Amino acid sequence: MNAEALERYQALPLPDTTQEHWRFTDLRGFDPDVFSRGQTLAVQDVPAKTMLELDVAGLATITESGISVERAPDGITFQRLDEGHERLYSLVGWDEKFAAHNAAVWQHGLLVHVPKGVELDKPLYVRITSSANESALFWRLLVIADPGARFTLVEEVVSSRPDLHAYTNEAAELFVGDGAKLEYVSLQNLSRETWHFASHHARVERDAELDWVAGGFGSKKGKVRIQNDLAGEGATSRVTGAYFTDGEQHLDYDTFQEHIAPNTTSDFAFKGALRDHSTAVWRGMIRVEPDAQKTNAYQENRNLMLSPTTHAVPIPGLEIMANDVRCTHGATVGRVDREQLFYLMARGLTRSEAERLIVRGFFEDVLARVELEPVREALATALEARIPQG
């Protein structure tokens, strides 16, 4: 137990809609302290439905009862994260309510450390399964790519049952050393009764490359924070997001592209489709620090409304303190056009087939950015599966 973080957690009020970052995410009805936690829980031994079938080099699973590393490749560190690790909390500390909650009480963490120059052909994979009803699950990832290392980490977050009531809270700290390349995939498909909060923060050093894929399909409500620091000259980060909401779901992505060093590039593109009464907030901030000349930064959020009762709020933002930069952004909320639908149906496609084709087409350019084919296919399948059969 981290006493300082706990104190901070207890001192911070639950965010409400008077705070700018929570203006569209109303947490009324949620009390993070009513969910039980700890290893004594009876975890239901139900295999969760996963989205991915991957041939992996390392495999770890996290549940309420702990972390288990089932396979780890030689020559790297892929193991249980120790509370005393020197880099812990250096990117995600306890300055915010949910980060503080995680820092205060987390128990299960994964440490991934790939030494200098080591390249892994196959991805590392961690599956987090929320499986105890009325319970909280906290976990942390600490990922270190030493200079020149190249590897992929895939994280999949699921629930053991579609009706599970839960609270999940993740903190991920990722260090991409000079000239390293990290591909990080984070797929979230929690139950519709799960409050989900996550803080991901990556630091990208000189000439390093971070390629990130975020998929959001499940959960009830919460917030996912993604911060990338372009800390070394020539650093590049690319974040690709795809989400699909329906029913009463509410997703919130809060992204931050922090350009610290000169000649750095960041490219964030999120696309989402919404059905029924679901809502989504996407907030983007590009900040270019005074020394970060020749920054090239892009942010984009596009939404497709499949029902007139959905609501999407894209909020792009720029804060530029250098004078020789290129920053662009785009944000749209569109709907399926009746004429487009008629055109496809006039060729014999049923309404749902036509919708599925339009949705697939809408996501095509973000899916094309996903380098790992099984991940790309899993995302496409998950997206299309959300269109009801007509």
Residues that bind other proteins (CB under 8 A): 337-340, 342-351, 353-354, 357-358, 360-365
Q: Which is nearer to other proteins, 6 or 357 (CB)?
A: 357
Our CA angle for 150, 147, 90, nearest 5°, is: 100
Instruction: Report in angstroms how near the CB of residue 75 gets to other proteins at its nearest.
Output: 41
Considering the complex, state which of residue 162 and residue 342 has its C-beta at the smaller distance from other proteins.
342
Q: Which two tokens stand for residue 315?
A: 């909020």
Question: Smaller CB distance to other proteins: residue 60 or 354?
Answer: 354
CA distance 186 to 278: 21
Q: Minimum distance from CB of 145 to other proteins (Å)? A: 33
| Distance from C-alpha of 49 to C-alpha of 162, rounded to nearest angstrom | 10
Closest distance of CB 34 from other proteins, Å: 44
Q: How far is the CB of 180 from other proteins (least distance, A)?
A: 33
Asked if residue 230 lies in contact with residue 259, where contact means CB atoms within 8 angstroms, the answer is yes
In 3D space, the residue among 160, 199, 208, 145 whose CA is nearest the CA of residue 50 turns out to be 160
> What is residue 48's DSSP assignment?
P
Choice between 134 and 343, CB closer to other proteins: 343
Q: Which amino acid is at 181?
A: K
Residue pair 250/243 in contact by the 8 Å Cβ criterion: no
Kindly tell me which of 53 and 373 has the beta carbon lying closer to other proteins: 373
DSSP single-letter state for residue 121: S
Contact 120, 148 (CB under 8 A): no
> 132, 42 in Cβ contact below 8 A?
yes
Q: How far is the CB of 249 from other proteins (least distance, A)?
A: 24
- Give min distance, CB of 215 to other proteins, in A: 17
Given the complex with other proteins, which of 281 and 383 has the nearer CB atom? 383
